[in-house]
Every structure is written in structure tokens, then in C-alpha cells.
Amino acid sequence: MFRSSQRRIVIPFLLPALLLLGVFYLYPLVRTVGISFTEWTRTGSSRYVGPANYTSLAGDPDYLNAVKNTFILAFVGGCMLFPPAIAIAWALTQRIHGERLFRFVTFAPVVLSAAVVALMWKFVYHPTLGLINPSLKSIGLSGLATEWLGNPASALPAVAFTTVWHGIGIWIVLLCAAFERLPKSVLEAARVEGAGEWRLFRSVMLPLLRDPLRVMLVLWVVQTIQAFAFVFIMTGGGPFGSTDVVGTLMYRVAFEQTEFGYAAAMGIALVVVTLVVAQILNRVLKRASIEY
């Protein structure tokens, strides 16, 4: 009786959120699934083709290249993101001098839009007018200067670095919160036993942070799989497709080639891949939970 009365109270509060979820998420998803089984012409007419769009994806070299680049972006960006984010978050928990200023500096890029950050770093990477190559030449390291966004070997890491620079503040805030939740009694006991700060960090803090780090890693991979803005603005998928990700390929196929059905199939396949990868990461990284 009590639970049924609780439901009657809760449901009216959930209805607005459920309505918005249905209108802006569920309906577009169902509509996209329907479009993915059709073939569109430039005149706007469509015809049902069944699973032909999905079978074409398996043999499409452009799509396979985009999927490969997407996962490379996630891996390279993750390697750039998590070590410094963990180190900075740990340092901020030590109550260093100027902590508030440092928190502001690390979080400031987050408030900028992706378009502004992408255009800014596109200028920074410019081979002659930017800041990196002239700086390298001025200190005698001209051999390291390169076409950062024009070289297939460096374009994707350059985009990954920009993505990390823009969003690292969010991850630092999350990690700071995770560090603050660590049980003080356990840390003090480790210090009493003679553990130094490095041993305390490696042997006590990191194991206790396993679950938050697992969730953050899954969130990072899911976020990167949906990457679009930075790649589209900085490189457009070039040079020679070396930075092409699924999002940019979908955009070109839909709005430049007018193949909306094929682009929708790419989108649905991306959703499925995202769900599968998230489940795999959860299972692989999941360990026995530590309660504290």
C-alpha cells in the first residue's frame, strides 16, 4: 500500500522527463532505425532496401578506416588524459600553494565551446603562423617542426591532444572528488605503518579508486566514439582520411552525397558498437568491489 502510494506520487514528477526523453531521444532513434533500411535519392524520395546498407558497411573501406581512427583516437587520447589528470588531481588534494588558482586554470578551457578551442588550436598548429613550429625553431629544435595537421602521422594525435586539453578539467574535478572520498582512517593507518606518499598513492589510493576510474574510462571511450566537432573543424577528416572518424564520415555521406539511409545505418552501427564496447570494458575492468 505504501509503495503504491509512493509510485502515484513519483510518476507525475517523472512524466516531463519521460516526455522529453521520448521526443528528443527515443523517437529520433526509432526514426533513424527506419531510415537505415531505406535508400534515398537526391529528389527526396526513398525506397525500402532491407539490411543492404548494413551489409555494405562490412566491406566499405572508408567506414572501416573511420572505425579504426575512432578507436585510435580513444586510445591515444586516453593515454594523454588519465596519467596527467590523476597526477594533477592527487597534487590538488595535497593542499599545495595556489591551489585555487591552479583549479581555475585547469578548469577554464572547459567553459569554452568546442568550436572556439578547435579554431584556436588549428591556428596554434599552423606550420608558419602558429606558435609551435616557430617556438621549436627558435630553440634549435627545427627538426621537430612539422605539418601538425597536414601530416598523416601527427594529425590524429594533434586532434586528440586538443580534445584532452579542452576537457581535462572535468576529469580532474571528478578525480578530485574521488580522492576526497577515500577513507581518511585507511590513509592514516598506512602512514602510521611507514608508507611514503608514493607507496601510499600506488598501493592504497589507486586500488581504492578502481571503480571510479573504470566508470571514467568507459565514459571517455563512449565520448570519444561520438567525436565529431574537433575533427570536423580542425582537419575535416584529412589528410588522406587519417583523422576521419565515424561522425565526420556520416556527415559527408548524409549531407554531401545525400545517402541518408546509408548514413543512418552508420549511426545505428555506431550506437551498437558503443554499447558493446561499454559492456566489454565493464566486464574486463570490473573487480571485486572494495567497501569503505
Which segments of the chain belong to CATH 1.10.3720.10? 62-285
The contacts of residue 157 (CB under 8 Å, 6+ apart) are 76
Note the pTM of the prediction, 2 decimals: 0.87
pLDDT of the residue at 204: 85
The whole-number pLDDT of residue 290 equals 54
pLDDT at 3: 66
What does CATH list as the number for 62-285?
1.10.3720.10
Q: How far apart are CA 1 and CA 6, in angstroms?
A: 9
pLDDT along the chain (292 residues), means of 10: 67 85 88 90 78 90 93 93 91 76 84 92 91 89 89 93 93 90 84 80 86 89 87 91 92 89 91 87 70 51
| CA pseudo-torsion sign 75, 78, 84, 90 | negative
Cα dihedral 98, 100, 106, 111 sign: negative
Q: Please report the sign of the dihedral spanned by the C-alpha atoms of residue 116, residue 118, residue 122, residue 125.
A: positive
